[in-house]
Structure 1
Amino acid sequence: MENSQQIIVMGSSAGGIESLITLIKGLPSRLDASIFIVQHLSPNYKSTIPEILQEYSPFPVRHPDDGDEIKSRTIYVAPPDHHLLIEKGHVLVKRGPKENRFRPSIDALFRSAAYSYRSRVVGIVLSGALDDGTSGLWSVKRLGGMTMVQLPADAAFDSMPLSALDQVEIDYCVPARDMGKLLATLRMPAKTAKAESSAIVERAGVETSIASDGDAFRKGIMDAGKLTPFTCPECHGVLVQIDEDGISRFRCHTGHGYTRAALLSEVVQRIEETYWISMRSLEEAAMLLEHTAGSLDVQGNGEAAKLFRREAVIATDESRELRETLLRRTRFTGENLFGYKKED
């Protein structure tokens, strides 16, 4: 792998396939770069993204294997349910803890590239919901790379580009169709634009290692930020808050990571799940009480049966109240609270 070669990392979510196709179509064959893509995927289905993109790409497109040597003019796509990470000269494909509720995580890819390749990295955020990619793009910028986002008006879902624009110093904001030509004209800086903070470099290395194989507590994640009263929705471990020039995010001692928006969205989802579980339990209790009352009637114990039926009515009423609460409840999300949503 030559020292002049660009490392281009791209992240997309909702609406991202269309953006990726448009970008890939515009890549010039002379571009001397290795390209890495995280598109949020369901972990339960085989990904056909390499086959889709190959129709439009001047370069080979594939899912890499763990440990593959990085080759120029090759596009690597994260496989389902695996983080795509970069280590000096090699691709890592790992099942470390989820970040922002996803595996693969855009932030994890961007952070690993910034840690290993500093000023040779170009980070690109495309169409998507919420804000995965913002923290990773911040790392790319702080460690000397270039940052690019899809013009929000050009994106099917503009939350990810808007979040990055709002919180990170962005070098280029252009439509996806213009990105390929622009990438071919970029001249990467010889050194970082800002003095590297040893703490930022060290944390990027630690978090890349956590995305690879977890073990966050032993690797010192509890020292990376300040303790909070919040717990991880995934494993219920304590969360530390990590601040990056106004960007606040969270990690637990097992390694799960969240932005504020992702954490809020996950907490809200768990609240709704708890409501449904409680409603089901009340319905089951009502059925069991009615069944017991019927058995008591058969045994000639009518007075006891009345007591059980009275309790069954109470459980049924409480279950209905919960159901009505769920059906009329307005769901709030990280997008509509943090503003990463297109205005009508």
Structure 2
Amino acid sequence: MATVQGRDIVVVAASAGGLEPLRTVLASLPADLPACVLVVLHIPATGGRALPGILDRSGALRAAAATDGERLTPGRVYVAPPDHHLMIAGGLVRASRGPRQNGLRPAADPLFRSAALYGGPRVIAVVLSGTLDDAALGSATVERRGGQVIVQDPEEAAYDSMPRSAAAATENAVIKPAGQIPALLARLVGEEVEMRPAETADELEAEVRGLLAGDPQTVTETRQSTDFTCPECGGPLYYAQEHRAGSYDCLVGHKWSPQTLLEEQTTAVERALWLAIRSLDERARLTAGLAGAARQRGHALSAAKFSDVAKEASEAADAIRGVTNGLDPVPGELEEPAPEAAG
């Protein structure tokens, strides 16, 4: 039987260029907002300690770093601590050091997906400026479970990839400039929604439990095996399509969107190429030195052979340098690829 409840959970994701629109949103929200606000801003593992204070001074809502186990309270802003995923479980704020998702901790997807699992239609998700596509899968989950998604207008965002990806992953996301988002939130918050029995979410529940426990339980039966390996741990990756968004998961619990996986692969390729360049440069210098020593001893044939090797190594290094210069950056938004089946 359906019950009626107000929208009272707001989850916000921001990355590069996202601090100013985040402050803009918080600045216009009233102190008596009948909802809690949970914020993930991508920050380094050793940084971001000043962020709660900055957000606390941005508006009337009290902002503080989230403490694991505290109860969700309306009118509060909970900020993800550095190197911790911010999540919701059983009406409590949770801070977890579970596996990185999209190479990030904190990441937006764990917050959005755990909020959707807990609150369903009570959840409003907001995606602000940022690179790549963290929050796209989470936005799709929020929408699929009855919540509302709002994205900053990509034309306004300093970095448009995150809001564009979230909009592409959903069907009914509302697109607004940052300055218009507070008024929309004020209208949506408290709006009554029907809390109907949710669809079965065994895999999502297992994922959330695993992240909180630090012992992920990836359900591979419903996922397609691939020939790809996890950039974090080297384990096999399994693909799952969820609505308009897809993800690659390993058995340890690392999760990658197609776009972030491609970004990591590009970085790994570039790293390998520069390693090859360094090795070839060293080979060229070493064999050039051996050629010089051979000439001094009057060994012309050996000197010529060493010189040839040095030239080949130098030319190979230059050729690989040309390849690194031609590596294209990852586009801001990708269509979902068909995963490659293993074997």
Q: Same fold (TM over 0.5)?
A: yes
Which residue of 2 is the match for residue 278 of structure 1? 276
Which residue of 2 is the match for residue 208 of structure 1? 208
1:222-301 residue pairs with structure 2 within 5 A?
A: 222-294=220-292, 296=294
What value does the CA root-mean-square deviation take over the aligned residues? 2.3
Q: CA deviation at 1:73?
A: 1.4
Tell whether 2:9 aligns with 1:7. yes
Contact 2:26 2:59 in 1 (8 A): yes
Call closer, same or farther: CA 1:301–1:29 in 2, change over 3 Å: same
Which residue of 2 is the match for residue 189 of structure 1? 193
Q: CA deviation at 1:281?
A: 1.0
1:263-342 residue pairs with structure 2 within 5 A?
A: 263-294=261-292, 296=294, 303-327=301-325, 329-335=326-332, 337-338=334-335
- Comparing 100-109 with 292-301, greater Cα deviation is found at 292-301
- Comparing 19-28 with 96-105, greater Cα deviation is found at 96-105
1:28-47 residue pairs with structure 2 within 5 A?
A: 28-47=30-49
Describe the SS at the equivalent of 2:149: strand
Q: Which has the higher helix share?
A: 1
Q: CA deviation at 1:111?
A: 0.4
% of aligned pairs identical? 34
Distance across 2 between alignment mates of 1:38 and 1:336:
21
Call closer, same or farther: CA 1:247–1:46 in 2, change over 3 Å: closer
Q: CA deviation at 1:110?
A: 0.3
AA aligned to 2:118 is S
Aligned residues: 330
Distance across 2 between alignment mates of 1:336 and 1:140:
20
Distance across 1 between alignment mates of 2:99 and 2:204:
15
Distance across 2 between alignment mates of 1:297 and 1:212:
67
Deviation string for 1:208-265 (max 9, x for gaps)? 234335433xx24322411112222222211111111232221111211111111112
Which residue of 1 is the match for residue 81 of structure 2? 79
Q: CA deviation at 1:52?
A: 1.6
AA aligned to 2:54 is I
Distance across 2 between alignment mates of 1:37 and 1:45:
16
Distance across 1 between alignment mates of 2:160 and 2:17:
9
Q: CA deviation at 1:335?
A: 1.4
Q: CA deviation at 1:297?
A: 5.6
Distance across 2 between alignment mates of 1:46 and 1:124:
20
Call closer, same or farther: CA 1:44–1:285 in 2, change over 3 Å: farther
Call closer, same or farther: CA 1:178–1:320 in 2, change over 3 Å: same
Q: CA deviation at 1:314?
A: 1.4
Distance across 2 between alignment mates of 1:135 and 1:324:
36
So what's the TM-score if we normalise by structure 1? 0.87
Distance across 2 between alignment mates of 1:337 and 1:150:
19
Tell whether 2:136 aligns with 1:138. no
Distance across 1 between alignment mates of 2:107 and 2:90:
19
Deviation string for 1:282-335 (max 9, x for gaps)? 1122223234445556666554344333212211111111112222x0413141
AA aligned to 2:194 is A
Contact 1:119 1:188 in 2 (8 A): no
Q: CA deviation at 1:274?
A: 1.1
Contact 1:119 1:144 in 2 (8 A): yes
So what's the TM-score if we normalise by structure 2? 0.88
Deviation string for 1:14-49 (max 9, x for gaps)? 211111011001102221111110111122434322
Tell whether 2:100 aligns with 1:98. yes
Deviation string for 1:133-167 (max 9, x for gaps)? 11101111222222222223332222222222222
Which residue of 1 is the match for residue 340 of structure 2? none
Distance across 1 between alignment mates of 2:23 and 2:302:
69
Distance across 2 between alignment mates of 1:68 and 1:307:
72
1:126-165 residue pairs with structure 2 within 5 A?
A: 126-165=128-167
Distance across 1 between alignment mates of 2:291 and 2:69:
65
Describe the SS at the equivalent of 1:272: helix
Deviation string for 1:49-93 (max 9, x for gaps)? 212212222122111232233333111111222211111132222
Contact 1:50 1:62 in 2 (8 A): yes
Contact 1:94 1:212 in 2 (8 A): yes
Call closer, same or farther: CA 1:285–1:252 in 2, change over 3 Å: same
Which residue of 2 is the match for residue 342 of structure 1? none
AA aligned to 2:235 is G
Contact 2:116 2:147 in 1 (8 A): yes
